[in-house]
Amino acid sequence: MTGTTRHLLGMTRGELEAMFTDMGEKTFRARQIMQWVYGRSVCDLDGMTDLSLDLRRALAQRLRFGLPEIQSREDASDGVVKWLLKAGDQQAIEAVFIPEENRGTLCVSSQVGCAMDCPFCATGRQGFNRNLSADEIVGQVMLARRELGAEGAQRISNVVFMGMGEPLANLRAVTRAVNILLDDLGFGLSRRRVTVSTSGLVPQIRRLAETSNVALAVSLHATNDELRDRLVPINRRYPIAELLTSCWDYARIARLKDVTFEYVMLAGVNDSRQHAYELAKLLGDRPAKVNLIPFNSFLGSGFERSPQAIVDAFRQVLLQAGIMTVTRKTRGDDIAAACGQLAGRVNNRVRVPLGAKMQQGAIQ
């Protein structure tokens, strides 16, 4: 015993097995405990009735339990649900459930705030405080499942890392959470139903390929480096050509049919027909599909949403180039739950240029 406890929800099957081995117990105990937690939503030792009292006592010395605490819940008129969850120290993150006809998507946060500084994003405007731990990420899914009622487990068919934060800047915790989401003793989601969305951290995309083969979405938002340097500042470090190469490599290594490119439509900034042609040139003949995102505004953003006709014309150019392109529906409008509107509550710790943030460990 080391005297420290680990949170059960942040432990993979392999880590649980190692813990039981260390305790002189059989590794099948890991299976037993995961069945309680993920199969039957029992999140405390008292409920695990097929473990002996002695074992439960021994486990209580090593494990912590509990779900994130809800600060508020909002239900939108279209069925979208948004939770504001406490993240300690007067801070909060957000998770959003988006029901659709034949699936239900939970959008989870990976950090308290974000250090990437994209000027069109409410989270980015708030700055960065800290990475979430794996249990805080998995906890969002467990909590949503419980909150969604008796059918909660079935209702969440997809999980996307598109809430607050840059998931690949918190790769260690995100990888662990992904492992639990995919494990058939965990949430048992297929790898195509878990999507990591990134602003384009190239080394981390390469590292993700070594450990995981989940769906990848990349926030491209611009077709040339000059514009992308402004819209997605991490581009100054990893320019478009380098980013795209890492995407094609990822698709090959992870055996993915395609990578999704997100493109937020900003009026008069990146939405011209010329931009559409440039985008088609960048992605044509590659394993790529495009998600056009209507810009969701927030106070003082300084950007405007492209008119529908412009979005349609942009999409047509891509379709004619043979690129699968969809326009994302805006959901949860009346509760500010759409992409880029998640604000939570962040005590910004770092208000320095991106490069310096990297030195300080905002990116792992």
Which residues form the interface with ligand SF4 (CB under 6 A)? 114, 116, 118, 121, 123-124, 165-166, 199, 219
CB of 330 to ligand SF4, least distance (A): 16
What distance in Å separates the CA atoms of residue 280 and residue 321, rounded to the nearest whole number? Answer: 6
Residue whose C-beta lies closest to ligand SF4? 124
Residues at the interface with ligand SAH (CB under 6 A):
114, 120-121, 162, 166, 197-199, 219, 262, 264, 293, 295-296, 339-340
Which residues lie closer than 8 Å to 43 by C-beta, 6 or more apart? Answer: 8, 9, 37, 65, 66, 67, 142
Round to whole Å and give the CA distance between 335 and 80: 9
- Closest to ligand SF4 by CB, 127 or 186: 127
- Does the annotation mark 339 as catalytic? yes
Rg of the chain on CA atoms, in Å: 21
How many residues comprise the chain? 364
Beta bridge partners of 93: 85
Residue whose beta carbon is closest to ligand SAH: 340
Contact 128, 245 (CB under 8 A): no
Nearer to ligand SF4, 93 or 283 (CB): 93
Nearer to ligand SF4, 110 or 306 (CB): 110
The residues, ordered by sequence, that sit 6+ positions from 71 with a Cβ below 8 Å of its Cβ are 84, 85, 86, 92
In angstroms, what is the minimal distance from the CB of 247 to ligand SF4? 16
At its nearest, how many Å lie between ligand SAH and the CB of residue 52? 44
What secondary structure letter does DSSP report for 27?
A: T
Residue 81, classed as helix, strand or coil, is strand
Least distance from ligand SF4 to the Cβ atom of residue 95, Å: 14
* CB nearer to ligand SAH: pick between 133 and 170: 170
Selection from ligand SAH, ligand SF4, none that 132 binds (CB < 5 to 8 A by kind) is: none
Q: Which does 162 bind (CB under 5 to 8 A by kind): ligand SF4, ligand SAH, none?
A: ligand SAH
Taking the complex as a whole, how short is the minimal distance between the CB of residue 280 and ligand SF4, in angstroms? 23
CB-facing half-sphere around the CA of 50: CA atoms within 13 A? 10
241's tokens: 């050509």
Q: Which residues are catalytic?
A: 94, 339
